[in-house]
């Protein structure tokens, strides 16, 4: 039996088809607990859940989670791939919910042996993945909020924008909260500004006289808003940035705690220049690929650091791989870029790629492929990464230590 599931936000359509292509059953269910419970019970009448694979156009969501929990093999079908197959059921490419569930079931019947199946991820890995992804979303939101704050300052107080770039981020936020407009900072002197910076533990890269001079020579804003309104806008944006920064710090602590207790953490924690957050990202994004990959080459391809070859007749192109898990590739390339500053082996691979005229992003992906082979070996054998053994096995000559003076 083969199941086609056309999902939506309010209703779903399900078709059951046998191996001859005959539709055995078909129904529509509401997106409710009653609808899911009745559907799972109705599916059990057609056989054991393990023998009823389900084709669906997504890899996540409530429907996928409930089907996996019930024991059904999930075969995710990309919407673009499914759309390209519509011509086999008619040139018009007609679309209805009932028709789509039937076509998904038929597609699973004819081509299911070539489609990968979705395997449930370990709960610890899934939790770490959720934490790191939410942190990445908050970092993106912080960047957008800071950019909006800079745009506000550029419009209403260019001098504040100058100091925002000079001061440390925490101090800059505190300064703008106290002095959100030119009028509020009009009575500042070099001494008062320097004393204020010292109270807030400023690093002291620039003296108070330099900071006040940069503040005074900045162009005056031509804003038509009143100072009170401009001040409210700046303060509100500062509070937004500070709130996002607080949530990121909270998530950092949660990621660190989840990473320490994860069973994969000891395998990769000793890799060069891999911080706690990046280690959590590597485990959360690369871990599920490790769990389902059959070979090292499949593992590397799914991580998105190999190019795509297109060859036909006399044409032959090797292009960047766009269809991949972008979060996994970003986490991996971030680590690879950092690792070349802490490992002679990684630095040699990167420098050799650059010597072959590869651009920096391409050289980083080449290095990432090498690291994925190391990660695969560690995970396959259950051995922790040992920098000393790795350097010796790869015959990287370490620089000789200079003798200490007597």
402 has a pLDDT exceeding 80: no
pLDDT for 393 equals 60
Residue 232 near residue 177, CB atoms below 8 Å:
no
390 has a pLDDT exceeding 90: no
Of 229-243, 304-318, 366-380, least confident by mean pLDDT is: 304-318
Report pLDDT digits (tens) over 31-47: 999 999 999 999 999 98
| Residue 39 CB coordination number (10 Å) | 21
DSSP class of 204:
-
Residue 57 near residue 79, CB atoms below 8 Å:
yes
pLDDT for 116 equals 83
CA dist list (Å): 100 to 25, 26, 132? 14, 12, 35
Q: What are phi and psi of 223, to 5 degrees?
A: -65, 140
List own/partner pairs for 76-84 with CB under 8 A and 24 or more apart.
Answer: 76/116, 76/118, 77/104, 77/107, 77/108, 77/115, 82/57, 82/107
> Confidence band (pLDDT; 50, 70, 90) for 138?
very high
The rounded percent of the chain whose pLDDT value lies above 70 is 96
Q: What number of helices (H) and strands (E) belong to the chain? A: 17, 7
pLDDT for 202 equals 86
Q: For the chain, what percentages of helix, strand and coil (3-state, to nearest 5) are there?
A: 60, 10, 30
* Residue 387 to residue 151: CA distance in whole angstroms: 46
| Mean pLDDT value across residues 184-196 | 87
399 has a pLDDT exceeding 70: no
DSSP class of 225:
S
DSSP run (H or E) holding 15: strand 11-17
pLDDT for 381 equals 87
pLDDT for 397 equals 47
pLDDT for 86 equals 85
Contacts of 275 by beta carbon, 8 Å cutoff, 6+ apart: 338
| Residue 289 CB coordination number (10 Å) | 20
pLDDT for 406 equals 35
404 has a pLDDT exceeding 50: no
DSSP string, 136-194: HHHHHHHHHHHHHHHHHHHHH-HHHHHHHHHS-HHHHHHHHHH--STGGGTT--HHHHH
DSSP-derived pairing of the beta strands 74-76 and 54-56: parallel
SS3 71: coil
The whole model's pTM is what?
A: 0.79
Average pLDDT, whole number, for the chain?
Answer: 88
Residue 49 near residue 43, CB atoms below 8 Å:
yes
Report pLDDT digits (tens) over 104-134: 999 999 988 888 888 777 888 989 999 999 9
Report pLDDT digits (tens) over 341-366: 999 899 999 999 999 999 999 999 99
Report pLDDT digits (tens) over 47-95: 899 999 999 998 888 899 899 889 899 999 988 888 888 888 887 777 8
């Amino acid at each position: 039996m083969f199941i086609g599931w056309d999902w939506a936000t309010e209703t779903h359509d399900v078709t059951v088809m046998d191996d001859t292509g005959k539709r055995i059953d078909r129904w529509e269910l509401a997106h409710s607990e009653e609808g899911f419970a009745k559907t799972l019970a109705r599916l059990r009448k057609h056989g054991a859940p393990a023998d009823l694979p389900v084709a669906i156009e997504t890899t996540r969501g409530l429907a996928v989670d409930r089907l996996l929990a019930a024991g059904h093999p999930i075969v995710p079908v990309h919407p673009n791939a499914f759309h390209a197959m519509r011509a086999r059921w008619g040139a018009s490419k007609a679309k209805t919910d009932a028709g789509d569930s039937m076509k998904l079931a038929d597609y699973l019947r004819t081509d299911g042996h070539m489609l990968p199946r979705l395997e449930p991820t370990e709960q610890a890995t899934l939790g770490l993945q959720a934490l790191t992804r939410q942190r990445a979303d908050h970092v993106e939101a912080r960047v957008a909020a800071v950019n909006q704050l800079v745009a506000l300052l550029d419009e209403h107080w260019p001098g504040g924008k100058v100091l925002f770039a000079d001061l440390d981020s925490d101090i800059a936020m505190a300064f703008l909260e106290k002095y959100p407009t030119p009028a509020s900072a009009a009575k500042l002197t070099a001494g008062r500004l320097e004393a204020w910076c010292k109270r807030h533990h400023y690093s002291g890269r620039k003296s108070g006289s330099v900071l006040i001079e940069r503040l005074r020579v900045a162009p005056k804003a031509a804003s038509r808003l009143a100072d009170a309104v401009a001040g409210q806008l700046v303060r509100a944006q500062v509070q937004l940035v500070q709130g996002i920064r607080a949530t990121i710090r909270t998530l950092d602590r949660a990621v660190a705690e989840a990473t320490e207790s994860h069973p994969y953490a000891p395998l990769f924690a000793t890799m060069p220049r891999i911080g706690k957050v990046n280690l959590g990202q590597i485990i959360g994004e690369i871990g599920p690929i490790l769990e389902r990959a059959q070979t090292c080459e499949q593992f590397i391809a799914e991580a998105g650091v190999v190019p795509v070859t297109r060859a036909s007749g006399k044409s032959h192109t090797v292009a960047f791989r766009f269809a991949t898990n972008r979060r996994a590739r970003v986490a991996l390339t971030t680590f690879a870029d950092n690792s070349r500053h802490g490992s002679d082996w990684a630095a040699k691979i990167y420098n050799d790629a650059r010597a072959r005229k590869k651009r920096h992003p391409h050289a980083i992906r080449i290095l990432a492929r090498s690291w994925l082979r190391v990660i695969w070996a560690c995970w396959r054998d259950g051995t922790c990464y040992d920098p000393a053994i790795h350097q010796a096995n790869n015959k990287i000559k370490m620089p000789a230590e200079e003798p200490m003076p007597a």
